[in-house]
Amino acid sequence: MNMPPVRQPDLPDPEKLDAVYRFATGWAQRMEKSRVMEYTELLYSPWRLIWLNLLSGVARGVGIAIGFTFFAATIIYVLQVLGALNLPIIGDYIADIVRIVQHQLQLNTY
């Protein structure tokens, strides 16, 4: 009985191996940058996740409040400057706003 010769598998080219190595290392680096491990660890500790979300929500709320305060102060300052110029159209508009606010303040006596 004659056995066929055992065929050795063809070894891949070094260029192909180098390309596969670069591809795998690139993916490994991207996974490290995305911090997947820290995220999965965070999912296993729900109290820490709740605490971090609470802190980020409070910080976001305080930031919005401070930002709105500066925005509103800027708008009020601009309206005061425009009111001081006695421009006919803008002055009438500001006077209407002042009348509406004064009327509301008289209605709502706390």
pLDDT band of 9, cuts 50, 70, 90: low
- pLDDT tens sequence across 23-80: 999 998 888 888 878 888 888 898 999 999 999 999 999 999 999 999 989 988 887 7
Q: What's the mean pLDDT in 83-100?
A: 78
pLDDT band of 3, cuts 50, 70, 90: low
pLDDT score recorded for residue 11:
63
> How big is the chain, counted in residues?
110
Task: Identify which has the larger pLDDT, 84 or 18.
Answer: 18
Burial of 10 (0-12, 13-18, 19+ CB in 10 A): exposed
What span, in angstroms and rounded, lies between the C-alpha atoms of 48 and 100? 49
